[in-house]
Amino acid sequence: MTLQQQLAETVLHLRQQGFEGAIAGIVLGTGLGELIHKIDIVKSIPYADIPHFPESTVESHKGHLVFGHIGKTAVIAMQGRFHYYEGYTMQQITFPIRVMKALGVAKLLLSNAAGGMNKALKKGDLVLLDDHINLQPENPLRGLNSPDFGPRFPDMHQPYDPDLSARLQAASGNMLHKGVYAAVMGPNLETRAEYRFLRMIGADVVGMSTVPEVIVANQIGLPCAAVSVVTDECDPDNLHPVSLAEILEVAAKADKVLSGIFAEVVEGLQ
């Protein structure tokens, strides 16, 4: 079955389940699920019950697609995303972004947990992504030669939408840091030398997600913005072991603030 056929089948199934009329799409990253409590949920479906959707294998990603409303704005939210390190292809990872666009979503908000390499960043800080550096070993556009998927060579001079980003900054009371996100494969964390290298090439935060989804969003003309939660401080000269439990704890605390920011922005999307 071709990717076009898979998309058509998935979109038809979700429409039959009532996933219609959403304006905003939301991708919730590691440890970031508080926003779900701000959604008046109409329907929640496990990924396993959606045709051609991968299943999340990461414990902190619940793995449900949610349809509902924040205020008067209809939304589709991913409770957990997919990662290259889970063994999926880049096209599988980004499949939900194409599905949301086909369902009529007009704006996309993404979140993630990331390591902070800029020494000005502390645990719990929120970083509005201004740009990114893609160091992952595969690209979600490779092999998609049909114009059905969008331009083969999408321009990436401004991958994060200025209007959406400005809305997020305003909703935060101008408390968001701005930064560049480096996307790596994972799942291991970085060495001291790798942190030095990433900082040297201009990255402020590092993570294992988001960029493939942003690349596809740009290809299909879906304006997007993203915020990273700094869950650990990655100073190579003062590096300490970090556990997943600690990362999730820090993310959960920052999530209360981030979910409020996302909710305010989504409510304003009419």
Domain ranges of the chain: 3-267
pLDDT band, residue 250 (cuts 50/70/90): confident
Helices (H), 76-210: 90-102, 162-171, 192-200
Q: Minimal CA–CA distance to 110: which of 22, 256, 223?
A: 223
pLDDT at 56: 76
> 191-200 pLDDT, tens per residue?
999 999 999 9
| Cβ atoms of 226 and 112 closer than 8 Å | yes
Mean pLDDT score, 234-262: 89
Where are the extended beta strands (E) located within 29-174?
40-46, 64-70, 73-79, 107-116, 126-134
Which three-class secondary structure state does DSSP give residue 47? helix
> 207-239 pLDDT, tens per residue?
999 999 999 999 999 999 999 999 999 999 999
- Lowest pLDDT segment from 143-147, 163-167, 215-219: 143-147
Which three-class secondary structure state does DSSP give residue 53? coil
CA dihedral 204→264→123→235, nearest 10 degrees, is 0
User: Both ends of the chain: CA-CA distance in Å?
Assistant: 36
Q: Could you give the CA distance from residue 119 to residue 147 in angstroms, rounded to a whole number?
A: 43
**H helix or E strand, kind and range, residue 2:** none
Say yes or no to pLDDT of 2 above 80: yes
Which three-class secondary structure state does DSSP give residue 215? helix
Between strands 224-233 and 107-116, the pairing is parallel
Q: Which option is the CATH number for 3-267: 3.40.50.1580, 3.40.720.10, 3.40.50.300, 2.40.110.20?
A: 3.40.50.1580
| Cβ atoms of 169 and 127 closer than 8 Å | no
pLDDT band, residue 119 (cuts 50/70/90): very high
> 61-114 pLDDT, tens per residue?
578 999 999 999 999 999 999 999 999 999 999 999 999 999 999 999 999 999
| Cβ atoms of 114 and 207 closer than 8 Å | yes
pLDDT band, residue 262 (cuts 50/70/90): very high
pLDDT at 61: 52
> 20-44 pLDDT, tens per residue?
999 999 999 877 788 999 999 999 9
pLDDT at 246: 83
State the pTM of this model. 0.95
Average pLDDT, the chain: 94
